[in-house]
Amino acid sequence: MRFSSIIFSISLLTLILSCNQKQQSIHNATVEALDTLALAQGFQLAQTSCFTCHSPDASFDNRVAPPMQAVKVHYNAEDVSFTQFHEDLSNFFKNPSADISKM
């Protein structure tokens, strides 16, 4: 009888732990899928709204504004954190002006 109780306890513990790991892996997969979706949506928004002027492929003579990578370099030139970079760029998007531009 004691052996059966030990086997039952070990089996129950294994089941609980494996269910918890499965839930965690499902959560991780969901978060990763959402991150991938957000990244794809962000890139699509950049293609339709930004790349017209900030084309990554246009030659120097044929572009209206610097490519987005060059914009990022200018905004990060002062070795600012990603949070500060995001805040500065968001402020510019909300109210574009030469006064707040880092270019």
> Rounded to whole angstroms, what are the CA distances from 68 to 42, 52, 83, 90?
13, 11, 18, 14
Residue 60 has pLDDT above 80, yes or no: yes
Residue 25 has pLDDT above 80, yes or no: no
Q: Give the global pTM.
A: 0.49
Least confidently predicted of 26-35, 36-45, 79-88 = 26-35
pLDDT digits (tens, 9 = 90+) for 31-53: 676 678 888 888 888 888 888 88
Helix/strand/coil for 75: helix
Q: Are 55 and 67 a contacting pair, CB within 8 Å? A: yes
